[in-house]
Amino acid sequence: MRAMVVLVGVLGASAAVTTAAADEKKACTEAYVAAQTLRDQHRLLAARDQLRICARKECSANMQGLMIKDCTDWLAQVEATIPSIVFEATDGHGNDLSAVKVTIDGHPLADKLDGSALQVDPGKHRFAFDDADGLAQVESTIVVREGDKDRRVRVTFGTSRSGVVTPAQPKTPDGASGTPTAAWVILGVGAAGVIAGSVFGVMALNDGSHLNTQTGCPKACPNTALPQIDTLHRDQWASDIGLGVGVIGLGVGVVLLLTSHGPEAAPAAVSLDVGPGVVLLGGRF
Q: Name which of 187, 209, 208, 190 is nearest 198 in CA terms.
A: 190
The region of weakest confidence among 36-40, 116-120, 168-172 is 168-172
Q: Where are the domains positioned within the chain?
A: 10-81, 84-167, 178-284
pLDDT per residue as tens digits for the range 187-212: 788 788 788 878 877 786 776 676 66
Query: What number of H helices and E strands is found in the chain?
Result: 6, 11
Q: Are 193 and 205 within 8 A, CB to CB?
A: no
Question: Out of 2.60.40.1120, 1.20.1280.290, 3.30.390.30, 1.20.1260.10, which CATH number does the structure's domain 84-167 have?
Answer: 2.60.40.1120
Confidence bin at 162 (pLDDT 50/70/90): low
pLDDT per residue as tens digits for the range 60-111: 776 666 678 888 999 999 999 999 999 999 988 889 999 999 999 999 999 9
Q: Name which of 261, 285, 257, 254 is nearest 271 in CA terms.
A: 285
Q: What is the mean pLDDT of residues 248-271?
A: 63
- How much is the pLDDT for 62? 62
Model pTM score: 0.50
Q: Name which of 194, 192, 186, 198 is nearest 249 in CA terms.
A: 186
- How much is the pLDDT for 251? 81
